[in-house]
Chains A and B, each alone.
Chain A
Amino acid sequence: MADMGIGVSVKRREDARFLTGNGTYTDDINRHGQTHAIIVRSPHAHARIKKINQAKAKAMPGVVAIFTGEDMKVGSLPCGWLIKNQDGSNMVEPGHPPIAQGKVRHVGDPVVVVVAETRQQALEAAEAVTVDYEVLPSVSSLKAATKAGAPLVWDEAKGNICYDWALGDKAAVDAAFAGAHKIVKIDLVNNRLIPNAMEPRAAIGDFDKATGDYTLYTTSQNPHVIRLLMGAFVLSIPESKLRVVAPDVGGGFGSKIYHYAEEAIVTWGAGQLKRPIKWTAERSESFMSDAHGRDHVTHAELALDKDGKFLALKAETLANMGAYLSTFATCVPTYLHATLLAGVYTTPAIWCNVKAVFTNTVPVDAYRGAGRPEATFLLERIVDIAAREMKMDPAEIRRKNFIQTSQFPYQTPVALQYDTGNYDATLDMALKMIDYKGFAGRKAAAAAKGKLRGIGVSCYIEACGIAPSAVVGSLGARAGLYECANVRVHPTGSVSIFTGSHSHGQGHETTFAQVVAEKLGIPSEQIEIVHGDTAKVPFGMGTYGSRSIAVGGAALVKALDKIILKGRKIAAHLMEASEKDVEFKDGKFTVAGTDKAKTFGEVALTAYVPHNYPITELEPGLEEQAFYDPLNFTYPSGCYIAEVEIDKDTGTLEIMRFVASDDFGKIINPMIVEGQVHGGIAQGLGQALLESCVYDKDGQLLTGSYNDYCMPRADDFPNFDVQHTDKPTPCTHNPLGVKGCGEAGAIGAPPAVMNAICNALGVVHMDMPATPEKIWRAANAHMARAAE
């Protein structure tokens, strides 16, 4: 099926339903007898709950039940990754009750759940609930939380420190710094972001009185993980009694990985009431209850020799965890950040210290890129500063330090082993795409119009295809990170694929079908891709960390190989040939050197109507399952270059060009990959130019709606020139040679545009987001300096 197979920009099969309004998102689902929940949330950053007055609300029309933390005594929402302190002790791991018990620790913390017959009735009753609080001192920023004598979010976390962790060889780094020709330094903030998938989170809990089974419909990127976490740790419901369905999901970007309180509340509540309960977030609720992203403060230093070779890097990072530890929170600044600090460079010695800090803010967890954007921003900014101080071209200082193609597999000093890559190729391509040589002329032309023009290069690498279970297990992960696929061939030769990967925009129904079409040689109309339902899909770890095709796709290939293997045995029997002589190609089993052939459909039928069948050697039926646990991470890499023009008088910025040259290894569907990169770049540029989550000193969220939190709009960006490298380096350890592409844009874009801005303005550094005001101030300081 060449026109449907690997490498073809097949149009997406899911589009028709989305384009006609026939998608089924969680809030589109209604269960018979459904009630509606509204959550009364804390207006305070830190407070003791003195009294909850619910009598008035209880008596209001339609009210079915009111639950508080006293009513819902269940397990704690778990954290999936245990980090060890430098001294070997465990991180501080406070409990996280779904409904606050005694104290609230951030604005938005659930306090009371009001359930009523209609949403409107629940809203009105929720208004009538009053809570008496004793407001406590709070900390809402990394700076405030780490000050001596700061109020404590948790009594057990001294100095608000969750953990104090380090990676790398400090002695080697210190020695290299002692002998360095030059040391460059940076202090930076990686701004806090709010993910804002366009579909607000929602959850429906359902309980079957006849069987005692629970069902949760939820906006999740990984329904099996939710089933495991909620079933085992929070509600003590065995997997056999708990079904989790994540139907069409309107974007995730990490924010829908985690097990959230509301999922446990509606599931538990449905069991209490023996009726379904639906909860849908309003956007303002999303702002204060979805896990936020980033929020690092870092000091870093890079040591260089006289030729501009990097000798050593050290970084000290404070990472905000928020008030509670969300599912993956603790691994983001450590194993997804510090481990990436080699970047694409041969820096021989690296040391990174991370202190994770509790604050009275919404939990912070992985957001598109997760740790890797923070690492890349740090590295690509400090490398640019090094180029400036060494008076070297930013592209050339990078090239000089690249890991060479002959050096793979390359062991970095921060735990990872890169299997393959070609960083010169992506750099060269991006330089050509943007006409790097012509920049001086464009800068002069801009200057003639009174504009400041700047160019910024960023070379990123990411660790994707998350993750080899044994490796992450040794680092503190409490789960394996394999993937599962099941291939069910039906009697007539059509095929159902059950994958543990979850699509919330990535187009798996199309790409996974391409893999099947390629392997089995059957038309795509005969292939069905099923995901997002624990009652249908045997198991799965879900979609995040650019893992779907690299891990889920690999599991699928393994399962398909088993189907082909069994098919060959059946075909050999039918054709009275030896199994070793049977070949399978383009949907046909043939015997080498003869014209004997059996189609895939004939073999499938034989498996289910086994009248003429090798019944003593082979079971009837044709269905196989595979788990795939990757041997290593995959390492997509690439080069992004931004060119900007700044109006000094207004501080406004225009992105004149943005080019991306990526190496994702093998590509299944170039159209979809390009779309992923576009979206990632937009989120990266959003971080760099527009977005920032702001709390005031009392822990009030100032950016709690689209009025205050600046989401990227269509008129903020130009078109992006996105291309795939002409010298791809396929992943060496998964069967498809794929590396993953979902996060690259968000990782590579922020430093590219910030480097361009710093270049235009002639400044060393500017923190994100580079708002017109910040740019204006810098531009005018620059003019002042020039005038001196």
Chain B
Amino acid sequence: MSVIVVSDLRKQYDQKVVVDGLSFTVEEGEIFGILGPNGAGKTTTVECVAGLRKPDGGSISVYGLDPQRDAAKLHHILGMQLQQSEMPDKLRVAEAMELYASFYDDPADWRELMTDVGLKDKADSAFNKLSGGQKQRLSIALALVGSPKVAILDELTTGLDPAARRDTWELVEEVRDRGITVLLVTHFMEEAERLCDRLAIIDGGKIVALDTPTGLVAHVDTEQKVRFRPASALDDTLLTALPEVTSVERHGRQVVVTGTGNLVHAVTSVLVQHQIIAMDLRAEQASLDDAFIALTGRRFDHSAQ
């Protein structure tokens, strides 16, 4: 079931068009990602969905509610984590949780939630004494304290160290496991790859691709590289003869094979046939990163024509 339906969304600030005809749907219970470079219009899009900004065109429906017209009802079922938002400096974690819980008719157990996000030890800490990661956790907990059906998380891991980022990802997966539909904004590929069921890549206010993370990668026919050090002499022609291989280079004792398709398999098969042991073998697979660059770059080519 589609719980968020955005069609032909438009938004401009003064004369500048920032969101230019976006359409997508989010299914119940999935993590839907919006990925894109700075200024692509991600925040504008999700804040229109949350009713914080008024679209200039198109329509949005969240569980059948119009974010502008039915704002009061929407706020009961939608929890929002803003990209930029703080709490009063001296407000303590438990106080913030209890306060926000009091805003809803049927809130989650805020003490339990506080424990779930790992802030139990920090219950009596003031907001300005929390680390960046702890502030983000609080922000997520506050977005969930009203037991929403939909949670919007806008760049929840920006500014976190890698460990804190991983912890936060686990938290988001737990949110999904509660049955909450998540609309996630990010510009970290790794985050999108790990968390999202489906993903829209937007650039310049338009969707340039919409698919599962693996689907996006598969459609991008980028070059791959395999690097290794042969333990015994290796004739380059063995490799260049392969249809998958486009070039073979040597950097000292290291061989770098560039090609497409199932390059790793092709190269390792040849090496095994000739009983050459490959040391320090490393394959660089096409990643979402490559997909992203290829997609946003491709769009750039179009506009240049």
**A and B: interacting chains:** no
